[in-house]
């Protein structure tokens, strides 16, 4: 958990991690677009965090490595 997260921001971040781990997305931008498409408020703001972007990128990469 990041120090100043609200419950809503944590929910968006957790959903981003779940999407990344699903293996359906190869890039952070794809996960961000999916969040926005699902109607998550604050998705853009949460995804601006360098910490979150790196974590999503790592999860996307790991999911693709295990799938292939």
Q: Per residue in 3-46, pLDDT tens?
A: 567 899 999 999 999 999 999 999 999 999 999 999 998 999 99
> 2 near 51, Cβ under 8 Å?
yes
Please say if the pLDDT value at position 49 is more than 90: yes
The runs of H, that is alpha helices, within the chain are 7-21, 28-37, 43-47, 50-67
58 in any annotated domain: yes
What domain count does the chain have?
1
2 in any annotated domain: no
**Integer-rounded Cα radius of gyration of the chain:** 11
How would residue 66 be classed by pLDDT, with cut points 50, 70 and 90?
A: confident
21 in any annotated domain: yes
Q: Describe the crossing of helices 7-21 and 28-37 by its angle, rounded to 10 degrees.
A: 120
1 in any annotated domain: no
Range of the domain at 50: 7-67
pTM, two decimals, is 0.89
């Amino acid at each position: 958990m990041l120090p100043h997260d609200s419950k809503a921001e944590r929910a968006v971040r957790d959903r981003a991690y779940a999407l990344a781990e699903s293996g359906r997305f190869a890039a952070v931008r794809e996960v961000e677009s999916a969040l926005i498409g699902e109607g998550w408020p604050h998705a853009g703001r949460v995804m601006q965090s360098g910490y979150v972007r790196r974590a999503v990128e790592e999860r996307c990469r790991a999911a693709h490595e295990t799938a292939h």
